[in-house]
Structure 1
C-alpha cells in the first residue's frame, strides 16, 4: 500500500514538472524601491511587478515622436467614439500640426497651424507660411468650416479638446503653457469652457518637454512681478488634462508596457527620447513595427 502511495506521489510530481516544461510560466519579479535616508519622503516605497517576457528599446527624435503621437491619437478609443458622435477641437501647435495632418489626411505647411514657437536664438530660422488655417473642428466626424469660438457653447460633457503644452511633469500628470498674450490667447478662451462644460482635455505632448519641476509651483513662480531685461518673459499657465505622449501612442497599437528611460542624443537626435517596451514577443514586435513606421520623419523646420 505504501509503495502504491509513493508511486502515485512520484507520478504526480513528474506530471507537474512536465506541465511546467511545456507551459513555461511567465517570470514575475517584484521590485521594491525605497528612498535613501535623509532624502525627501525617505519612508516612501514603490513596489511594482514585472510579468512580461520580452523587451525592446527604441529612440525617437522630436519629429518622430510628434508623428507617432498623432498616429496614436487617431487610434485612441475615446477619440474614435467622439468622431462618430460629438465634437473634437484641434487647436494650433507644432505637435497638433501632425495631429491635424493625420486626422485630415492632408499635408500642412509647417507654419500654417502654429502660433507661439521657440526657434534657435542665434540663427535666422523661420517658419514657412502659406495658407493660414483656423483651429480644426469635427462634428460627428465631419470637418466644420467655422471658428472654434462659435461651437464652444454647443460642446457637451465628454467632447474633446486637444491642446499642446510647453512643459510637463509626467509623474504628476501636469502640463504648462507659456503665455505671452495679454488675454492668454486660445488657452484663456478654452480653459474656463473646459471646466464649465466638463470637456475632455487631451494634451498631445512629446516627452522632450518633461521636467522634474512641479508645474503648479512654476506657474506661481513665473507670475511674480519683476522688471524685464530685454524681451518680456511669458508666464506659465498650469492646465489640467490628460497627457498623451509617445508612451500612450505606442500602447494604442500593442498590448505592452512602455517607460521613458533616457533622453537626448546627437546628430539630429538632440531632444530624442529613449523608450523601453515590454510585453509578449508578439506584442513587442507590433510596437516595434509602428515605431519603425515613423522613423525617418523629417524635422519640423526643414
Structure 2
C-alpha cells in the first residue's frame, strides 16, 4: 500500500513537472510571437527604434531563430543610418546605406526604410552643398587698390581707401578645393574592399589634415578681427568643440560598424572638422 502511494506521488510530481515545463514553453512562445508581431507593426509604422526593441526581445526568447536574428542585425544597421542623418553626417549615411543594400538577403521591409533614408540624406546633402557652392565658386574680388573716395568739401586731404573684405569667399573657395581634392577622394575608396585599408586610412588622414589646416587659418583670422570678449567666447567654445570632436572619434573607434576601427576614427575626425570649418564660416562671415 505504501509502495502504491509512493508511486502515485512520484507520478503526480512528474506530471506536475511536465505541466510546468509546458506552461513555461507556452509562455516563451507567446512572448516570442507577440514581440515579432509588435516588431513588424512598428516597422510598418516606420518606428525603427520600437521595431528593434521588439525583435531584440524576441531574440532573447529564441536566440536560435535565424529570421529574428536577421531582423535585429539589419535594424541595427538601419538605425545607425538614421542616427548619422540626424547628426548631419549625410555623406557617411549614403555610403552606409549603399553598403547595406548590397546584401542579397536584405529584408524587403527594411530595404524600403533604408532606401527612403538614403533619399532623405541625398536630398539634405544636396541642399547643404547648394547653399555653400554658389559662395564657394565666386571669384574672389581683385586685390588691386581701389580708387580713392571723392574728397570732402571741408577737407582737402584724400580719404582712406575703402577696404574690400574678401576672406569669406577665399576660405569658401579653399573649403571647396579640400572637399573636391581630398574628402571626395577618401569617401570614394571602399574601405572594406581587399587591400584598401591602407589607401582608405591614408586618404581620410590627409583629408582631415587639410581641414584642420583650414580651420586654423579661419581661427587665426577671427582672432585678429574679433573683439577681445567675442574672441574669448569663441576660444571657450572651440575648446569644448575639441573635446566633442575627440569623444566622437573615440566612439567611432569603439563602435566602427561596417568599417575598420582605424578608418572609422579617421573618418569621424575628417567629417567633424570639415563641419566645424563651415560652421565658423557661416557664424562669422561678417567678421572675416
TM-score by length of 2: 0.26
Give 1 or 2: higher strand fraction.
1
Give 1 or 2: higher helix fraction.
2
TM-score by length of 1: 0.25
